[in-house]
Chain A
Amino acid sequence: EAQVTQNPRYLITVTGKKLTVTCSQNMNHEYMSWYRQDPGLGLRQIYYSMNVEVTDKGDVPEGYKVSRKEKRNFPLILESPSPNQTSLYFCASSFRVRGRNAYEQYFGPGTRLTVT
């Protein structure tokens, strides 16, 4: 089954304790992204990757790191989490629709992170 998986789905942690949220897709998509979703603010892109070893900042990259060593995986790393990073996080992958400049994103189920 084609899907994007994220782990863990729920995480409660304390300020300053490094954590990694994993993301994996089995669709051989080139593009992957991380978003955070907060009430009243919609989805905001944190980082994205256009291919292996190619990453770029989205709108809210501060406090986050990513890596893309393999095509299928795109982990999100919080080196020193803070309470303002409490949020719902989504990973997504995408492909170009019919060879044109149009992309359809597939989203993972989300990771609810609480930093105390």
Chain B
Amino acid sequence: SQQGEEDPQALSIQEGENATMNCSYKTSINNLQWYRQNSGRGLVHLILIRSNEREKHSGRLRVTLDTSKKSSSLLITASRAADTASYFCASYNAGKSTFGDGTTLTVKP
């Protein structure tokens, strides 16, 4: 399987709830990135966390990284219907990139 496996594959929540997605990876990384993709569209970069960081925030997004467990999580707080999308983690180093399979998030109004 690919490096970068998201869990769960699909998540459905009500507006206002928090959404947590997890990503596991296999090899060493310099950094881990999270992307969002609306159906059939290009990916949009959300946040990058470096291997020497443990937590990072950006607006309603919070990303954690545990290099000992080779895992990362993305938390979206106070979700909105507009957050409905697929979310991917990815490792990237000087051109070579590996994406996970993604988590499809549905936020019901």
**Residues of chain A having any CB pair with chain B under 8 Å:** 4, 31, 33, 35, 40-45, 48-50, 56, 58-59, 88, 90, 92, 94, 97, 100-110, 112
Contacts and interface: CB of A to CB of B under 8 A. Distances in A.
B42 interface: yes
Counting contact residues on chain B (CB < 8 A from A), the size range is 20 to 34
A90 B95 contact: no
B64 interface: no
Contacts of A41: 101
Interface string B34-45: 010000111111
B100 A101 contact: no
B30 interface: yes
Interface string B92-108: 11111111111000000
A55 to B, nearest CB: 9
A101 B31 contact: yes
Given A50-B95, A108-B42, A40 B30 contact: no
Contacts, number: 79
Given A48-B96, A104-B48, A90 B42 contact: yes
B102 A90 contact: no
Interface centre among B48, B92, B100 (most CB of A within 10 A): B92
Q: Which of B35, B42, B44, B93 has the most CB of A within 10 A?
A: B42
